[in-house]
Amino acid sequence: MAKRKSSFLRKIWFVLWRLLLVITLILLAFRFVPLPTTAFMMQSPYPVTQKWISIDKLPSSISLAVVASEDQRFPLHYGVDFSAIIKAVEQYGDGDGLRGASTITQQTAKNIFLWSGRSFIRKGLEAGLAISLEAVWGKKRILEVYLNIAEFGKGIYGVEAASQHYFKKSARYLSNNQAAQLAVLLPSPQTRDPRDLSVELNQRVTWVERQMRQLGSNYLAPIIKD
């Protein structure tokens, strides 16, 4: 019995370290070049539209709008915001549904490697991959990739494709308000359209713009200028 258990554990370790090696090689390979696709794009039921754009060509307002809306502690954490996770677990224990509590790094990892849905198993994988992204890519690259692979509509991935689809212009020319409009799509991109936002979502746009002003235009400068 002990021999069977030992053999089983060796097999698991054999698979795990090779999987980790493959993931590391993928991260290293795409440290500087655009990702051709992601797990989420491959799972999309809609035709995929994506146009890659360098973060250096984007106005800082786009990055700031996304951070203000999704993860204001992005410059401060190391891929996982443990305080947000603890709060989500406490709320789950109190009877609430399992909330996301995902950082931008975790969302990037999920979009590249994992699947939609909420479970503790997926969250654990997401957290481990997020820490790896922070170690291998760094903040600027994570934010650049996220802006290019996040879903902004049915089959629309990345801010450049979203900007051309909704506003008929490159993301390089988006105003602060338009950047905030795109940011509010992220939690539920397949059911929202910046050209037809509800009263509640317009209020969310106003909130995001206010958060952008409070964070300040130079909030992400140490990252983007890295």
Give tens-digit pLDDT for 213-222. 999 999 999 9
**For the residues 24-38, what does the mean pLDDT come to?**
89
Residue 153's closest CA among 63, 62, 70, 45?
45
Residue 140: what pLDDT?
A: 97
**For the residues 102-117, what does the mean pLDDT come to?**
91
CATH T-level assignment (fold) for domain 38-224: Penicillin binding protein transpeptidase fold (1.10.3810)
Mind listing the pLDDT tens digit for each residue in 124-137? 888 889 999 999 99
Task: Grade residue 46 by pLDDT with cuts at 50, 70 and 90.
Answer: very high
> Taking the domains of the chain in order of start, what are their residue ranges?
38-224
- The CA-CA-CA angle for residues 47, 100, 78, to 5°, reads 100
DSSP 116-144: SS--HHHHHHHHHHHHHHHHHT-HHHHHH
Q: How many CB atoms lie within 10 A of CB 142?
A: 23
* Strand 156-157 versus strand 151-153 pairing type: antiparallel
Give the ranges where the chain is alpha helix by DSSP (H).
2-29, 39-43, 60-70, 82-93, 104-113, 120-136, 139-149, 159-167, 176-183, 199-215, 221-224
Task: Grade residue 37 by pLDDT with cuts at 50, 70 and 90.
Answer: very high
Residue 182: what pLDDT?
A: 98
Mind listing the pLDDT tens digit for each residue in 50-88? 999 999 999 999 999 999 999 999 999 999 987 766 776
